[in-house]
Amino acid sequence: NVDEEDMEYFKEDLEKVDKGIRHCMEISGFLLQNMGGQISGVIATTLLPIYASVLMNFAEREDYELIDSVCFICDCMEHGDEAMFNQVSAQAGQKFVELIHHSQKKGVQEINFDLVQSCIFGLGMVASKQPSGQFAQLGDFMTIINQIITY
Q: What is the pLDDT of residues 81-93, one digit of tens each?
A: 999 999 998 899 9
Q: What is the pLDDT of residue 2?
A: 72
Q: How confident is residue 9, by pLDDT bands cut at 50, 70 and 90? A: low
CA-nearest of 74, 30, 32 to 52 is 74
- Rounded Cα distance between 132 and 134, Å, is 6
146 vs 99, residue with greater confidence: 99
Whether the predicted pLDDT of 1 surpasses 80: no
| Global confidence as pTM | 0.82
- Rounded Cα distance between 36 and 40, Å, is 6
- Rounded Cα distance between 89 and 80, Å, is 11
- Rounded Cα distance between 66 and 72, Å, is 10
pLDDT digits (tens, 9 = 90+) for 32-66: 999 988 999 999 999 999 999 999 988 889 888 99
Average pLDDT, the chain: 86
